[in-house]
Every structure is written in structure tokens, then in C-alpha cells.
């Protein structure tokens, strides 16, 4: 079976007044109907990889790739008109903090309904009905009441459920979730992940989960790309995280304090300049 999304030698370079900055340097991967994690520290290029897929890189960014293909469509050369049909409808993106990604002056329910109406020719009433159903799907207890709320009235966890509802309502093939739970409390984080888990299982979607939390991602995803300085250091099958070979991955794993493994001082990550080489 051919993959949903195929990326070969993706590069993102930003022109700055101090010269070009290479944020992504030759990333390649295939995504099927699976959960793929992209993990790395800040500045490793994980978010820029996600953004480049939807042509959402900042204006001073230049994206090149040998191939970036989604369901037979060349994402590198697709005109803006075609990208608009893909963004949201077929590949959608969940951002980190619902406080900044929701429109503060629109009721959350109307924002979900809007997402549906943009991608289908549904009537206003149909879209409202679908939005209410969607709120129920993301396990919001009183969908009718929450529909009428404004973003500042909902909690962080509820806001993220609203975001997920909005992204899922056009029934996309791929979801790119960029740190979807980092702003949430641990119990809420687990609940939101369980929800994403259900959606991917029930609807057969592909999920790209971008995060800085190696342990969490490995326990959630099927496969994990570990990124450093714009490059993929290692691809790990989830469940084999503890057998990771690359010294960078090992370093990241070791330097986090663990409840079950008390130690006086934490090992510090030593960065090898050779990891920067292509």
C-alpha cells in the first residue's frame, strides 16, 4: 500500500539579516494510517517540518524537497487555490495553546460550525447540528451549553477539545498535532491524548504528533522520529525506545529525572558536533 504522505529530503531555510538559517536539513519520512511522533528540543526543526507540509512556513522561509506528496498531489508545487482545498479539509493542524488559536470574539460552537461550512456546502442549521454532535464526540458533557461559550469561558482542556472538534469536523486524512497537550495538566493531557487515539483508530487517520516529550510520544505513537538541529537522528519503533542507539536519544532519555530511578545529580547531555554533519 502506498503511503498517505511521502516526504523526501525536505529542507527549510530562513533568510535573516545575519544570513540564511537552515531550520530543517534533509528530513525524509513516509506516513501511513498510523501515529508518527516527531520529537526534539526547541529549535530542532520539528514544528517547521509540520508547517512546511501545509505551505505554512513564514514569508522569509524557502522550502525545497525532492518529493513531498500527499495522495498523488505534489504539495511542493500545488497552487494556493489547491492548497486551500487541502488545508483543514484533508490535512489539518492542531496548535499548542487554544487560548491563542481560537477566535476570542466568536462562540466556540460557531467556530466549529464555520470549519464545517467552509469545506462543505452545508446549510447553517446542518453545520450547527454537526458541530453539536462533534462536541459530544470529543466528550464534552453539556454540548448545548458549551456551544454558546466564548473561548475565555472554557478551561484549557475544554479549549483543546474544541480545537480537536474543529479540526476533525471536515474528516481529514491526516492530523498534524503540534504540542497539543503541552499547555495542559497531566491528567487532562492524558485524556486529550486518549481522545486523539480514539479518533485515529475509529476514522483511520494518519497522525503526526510533534512534541518535546520523548517518553510520552514513544508511549503513544507507533513510530518516532528524533530530530536534532534540523536533521533526523534516529527513527525508533515505539516500544523499543529503551533500546535507542543514538547517543543523542540516549542523552535525552537519561537527563530527565524519573520517579522510579533516584539519582543525586542528573547526567548532562553532551552534544557531539558530528551530529550536525550531513
Partner 1 sequence: MNERTGMIDVQNLNVTFGHGNSEVRAVRDVTFNIDKGESFGLVGESGSGKSTVLRAIARLTHDWTGTITIDGAALSHRRDRATARRMQMVFQDPYGSLHPRHTVNDILMEPLEIHRMDRREARVHKALEDVGLGIEMRFRYPYQISGGQRQRIAIARALILEPEVLLLDEPTSALDVSVQAEILNLLKSLQREHELTYLMVSHNLAVVAHMCDRIAVMNRGRFAEELTTEQLRSATPTEGYTRQLLSASGSYDRETAKSFVSFE
Q: Out of 258, 272, 275, 276, which residue is the one contacting partner 1 (CB under 8 A)?
A: 258
Q: Is 158 in the site for partner 1 (CB under 8 A)?
A: no
Whether the CB-CB separation of 67 and 77 falls below 8 Å is answered with no
Given the complex with partner 1, which of 105 and 186 has the nearer CB atom? 186
Q: Is 260 in the site for partner 1 (CB under 8 A)?
A: yes
Distances (CA, A) of 78 to 69, 81, 253: 10, 8, 39
Given the complex with partner 1, which of 15 and 198 has the nearer CB atom? 198
Q: Is 186 in the site for partner 1 (CB under 8 A)?
A: yes
Q: Out of 8, 9, 30, 41, which residue is the one contacting partner 1 (CB under 8 A)?
A: 41
Q: Which residues contact 228 (CB under 8 A, 6 or more apart)?
A: 40, 41, 44, 248, 275
Given the complex with partner 1, which of 18 and 81 has the nearer CB atom? 18
Q: Out of 19, 59, 72, 262, which residue is the one contacting partner 1 (CB under 8 A)?
A: 262
Determine what percent of the chain falls in helix, strand and coil, rounding each to the nearest 5: 40, 25, 35
Binding track, positions 49-88, relative to partner 1; x by CB under 8 A: ----------------------------------------
Q: Out of 76, 118, 149, 190, which residue is the one contacting partner 1 (CB under 8 A)?
A: 190
Q: Is 21 in the site for partner 1 (CB under 8 A)?
A: no
Given the complex with partner 1, which of 86 and 225 has the nearer CB atom? 225
Among 31, 86, 55, residue whose Cα is nearest residue 204: 31
CA distance 169 to 174: 13
Q: Is 146 in the site for partner 1 (CB under 8 A)?
A: no
CA 111, 58, 172, 98 torsion: positive or negative?
negative
Judge residue 268's burial from the number of C-beta atoms within 10 Å of its C-beta, 0-12 exposed, 13-18 middle, 19 or more buried. Answer: exposed
Cross-strand partners of 235: 225
Exposure of 225 in the CB half-sphere (CA atoms within 13 A): 24
Q: Which stretch binds partner 1 (CB under 8 A): 22-30, 67-75, 111-119, 214-222?
A: 214-222
Q: Which stretch binds partner 1 (CB under 8 A): 12-20, 85-93, 164-172, 188-196?
A: 188-196
Cross-strand partners of 10: 27
CA distance 212 to 183: 12
Q: Out of 42, 59, 121, 243, which residue is the one contacting partner 1 (CB under 8 A)?
A: 42
List residues near partner 1 by CB under 8 A. 41-42, 156, 185-191, 193-194, 197, 212, 214-216, 218-220, 251-252, 255-260, 262-269
Amino acid at each position: 500500500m502506498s503511503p498517505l504522505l511521502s516526504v523526501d529530503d525536505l529542507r527549510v531555510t530562513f533568510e535573516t539579516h545575519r544570513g540564511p538559517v537552515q531550520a530543517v536539513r534533509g528530513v525524509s519520512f513516509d506516513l501511513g494510517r498510523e501515529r508518527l511522533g516527531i520529537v526534539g528540543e526547541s529549535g530542532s526543526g520539528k514544528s517547521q517540518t509540520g508547517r512546511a507540509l501545509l505551505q505554512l512556513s513564514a514569508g522569509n522561509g524557502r522550502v525545497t524537497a525532492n518529493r513531498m506528496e500527499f495522495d498523488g498531489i505534489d504539495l511542493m508545487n500545488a497552487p494556493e487555490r489547491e492548497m486551500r482545498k487541502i488545508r483543514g479539509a484533508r490535512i489539518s493542524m492542531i496548535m499548542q495553546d487554544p487560548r491563542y488559536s481560537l477566535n476570542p470574539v466568536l462562540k466556540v460552537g460557531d467556530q466549529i460550525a464555520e470549519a464545517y461550512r467552509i469545506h462543505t456546502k452545508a446549510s447553517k442549521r446542518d453545520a450547527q447540528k454537526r458541530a453539536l454532535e462533534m462536541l459530544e464526540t470529543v466528550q464534552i458533557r453539556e454540548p448545548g451549553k458549551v456551544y454558546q461559550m466564548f473561548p475565555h469561558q472554557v478551561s484549557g482542556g475544554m479549549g483543546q477539545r474544541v480545537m480537536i472538534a474543529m479540526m476533525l469536523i471536515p474528516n481529514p486524512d491526516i492530523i498534524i498535532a503540534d504540542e497539543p497537550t503541552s499547555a495542559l495538566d497531566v491528567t487532562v493531557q492524558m485524556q486529550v491524548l486518549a481522545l486523539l487515539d480514539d479518533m485515529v483508530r475509529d476514522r483511520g487517520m494518519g497522525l503526526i504528533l510533534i512534541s518535546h516529550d520523548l517518553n510520552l510520544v514513544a508511549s503513544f505513537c507507533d513510530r518516532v522520529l528524533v530530530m536534532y538541529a534540523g536533521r533526523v537522528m534516529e527513527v525508533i519503533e515505539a516500544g523499543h525506545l529503551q533500546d535507542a542507539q543514538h547517543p543523542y536519544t540516549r542523552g535525552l532519555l537519561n537527563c530527565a529525572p524519573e520517579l522510579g530511578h533516584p539519582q543525586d545529580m542528573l547526567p548532562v547531555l553532551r552534544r557531539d558536533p558530528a551530529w550536525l554533519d550531513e
